[in-house]
Chains A and B, each alone.
Chain A
Amino acid sequence: MAKYAIRRLLALLPVFLVVTVIVFLLIHLVPGDPIDNLMRSGSDPAQRDALSRAYGLDRSLVEQYLAWMGHLVRGDLGTAIVQRRPVAELIGENIGYSLALGGLALAFSAIVGIVAGVTAASFQDRVADRALMSLALVGSTVPSFWLGLLMILFFAVQLGWVPVSGARHWTSVILPATTVGLAGMALVARVTRIAMIETARQDFVTLLHAKGVSRFTIQTRHLLRHALVPVLTLLSLRIGLIVGGSVTVEYVFARPGLGSLLIRAIGQRDYPVIQGSLLMLAIAVMLGTLVGDLLQAAMDPRQREDDRS
């Protein structure tokens, strides 16, 4: 298992390399550059060139990329052009908010989704099942930014239970996390339900009943364990969407975080900040997926075997 984990981690290195290229190229290929932000239009072209040279923007893309990578391998993310502070510092100030939001959204997707799925499966084709699955369908189709606005109106403005925006109080994370996690929760519920039902049809489950094992034990100890395998796959795929969703939702809720940092930096064409925060998001997705795969391998003995051979 440890060997398997190390091998999977090493396999991420080439992926990481490709990600750095994409992160770098994406923003450099967009029209405009940071200097536009620093200087008014019609200002002295000679001054412009001097600034360009100072930031190394006059060099070729390849040279700029290599310079960035050179610093990166030494752990240096560069300095923000507009704010004139180290990028690592900016990220450090914001990453906590994003981790809280993403982590809570993921936990919400997983826990509420699994509980709803198991409940629906044990009341298969009855009222509780149909009601839960209808809700899940609605949950997975409503766009998250719109849902976010609705929830702000209801829970924050009307009921006043939680803050409308910002991140001054810990309760402020509840609405954005629910917004980001809802679609995933709905999918997790559906996948859990169908996996429980499919597993229940297998011969070994008939034999469990024949051994005199109670229905409750069969549901919680045996069926759920099987159902968690596809659910973990789904959750590790959702991590990317949760990270992406957080970016827009942070904006809707005016929360600090990597998403807000990134969106502001994109407007200012602040290359080092954009690259740094995109890289963080990409690493979050890669590590999240890796953890999902490892958990899955730990649970299902057949997968470990298949991979060893």
Chain B
Amino acid sequence: MLTVDDLEIGFSTLHPLAGVDFSVARGEILGLVGESGSGKSMTAMSVMGLLPLIGGRVTRGSIRFEGEELTTLDEARYRRLRGGRIALITQNPMTSLDPMVRVGPQIDQGARLHLGLDARAARIRTVELMARMRIPDAARVYDLHPHQLSGGLRQRIVIAMALAGDPELLIADEPTTALDVIVQAQIVQLLVELVRERDLALMLITHDMGLVAQACDRVAVMYSGRIVESGPVAAIFEDPRHPYTRALIGCIPRPGMAEGTLAGIPGTVPSIADLPSGCRFHPRCPMAVAACRDRVPQTVAVAADHGVACLLAGAASGDAP
């Protein structure tokens, strides 16, 4: 449904994304994982066609949605796509709703724009949608303002807002990061249900490998503006080939883990103004060899639908040195 190929974007002379490839199929949940600063949200903004809003542009590559090239699409047609066929769910439910407008009409807006409903029909649809989001007493909540609702409820409103225009592809940018653990689990479960019952495609952006294991079908691991490893969730967790993927999996806490054994990843994602040469992960990589400093690793297939961009990919399987 969505295929991103060799995507590079630019902000004046800087390139936060430098050759990103991935795809999402209908009915599939793709996890896009990485630390803060790896370019996940930039990827979301690129697909939404909202880069100009933050001063960026696509400088290379293509984004195809149902066969249609989006990087060259004119604004009027892109606008019909946004909310109508591709929808966005943002991270912080506290700031994602207009504080001066009642929540119901904020959901209506999408249905009126993209489905051509009048005010009454949109309201009926919105209340149904809110009820489907398991918002109790939806008809009453419709008339409340955002500040009268809890974070979890607001995030359900944001999801309802995304679904209002009946989209086919959902992009959820860290939809649970700002919520407490119990609400997180409920929201993830809701998203998974919606994907299954409406046959949507979902691009779930997160930094949480645990969430990926729990909810996703496939995963693309992102580091410093590139996809370093991608494949089915089972394959990635059983046989992670990229040292960064392994490090991320090592960051998932498990019950019964001895104190002090939860691993972090030393160092930070490099700034896009000062990128390392060769493999961008080499300064933090425990397995880096001299060649990693000079050569940019190409993505190689290590199994069906499992690609890795690491010079040591062949050797770096589970029992590597």
Contacts and interface: CB of A to CB of B under 8 A. Distances in A.
B84 A202 contact: no
Interface stretch (A138-146, A156-164, A205-213): A205-213
Contacts of B50: 206, 209-210
Contact of B97 (A204, A226, A305): A204
Interface string B82-112: 1110011011100111111100000001100
A302 B100 CA distance: 8
A299 B98 CA distance: 13
Contact of B79 (A203, A212, A300, A302): A212
A252 to B, nearest CB: 41
B165 interface: yes
B83 A211 contact: yes
Interface residues of A, number: 20
B114 to A, nearest CB: 6
Contacts of B161: 207, 211
Interface residues on B, range: 20 to 34
A212 B98 contact: no
A199 to B, nearest CB: 10
A203 B88 CA distance: 12
A301 to B, nearest CB: 4
Contacts of A302: 99-100, 145, 147
A25 B22 CA distance: 79
A212 B83 contact: yes
Nearest to A300: B100
A216 to B, nearest CB: 11
B96 A212 contact: no
A211 B99 contact: no
Interface in A287-307: 299-302, 305
Given A207-B161, A299-B100, 19 more contacts: A203-B91, A203-B92, A203-B96, A206-B88, A206-B90, A207-B96, A208-B98, A209-B53, A209-B82, A210-B48, A210-B83, A211-B87, A212-B114, A213-B113, A301-B99, A301-B100, A301-B147, A302-B147, A305-B148
Interface of B: 48, 50, 53, 79-84, 87-88, 90-92, 95-101, 109-110, 113-114, 145, 147-148, 158, 161, 164-165
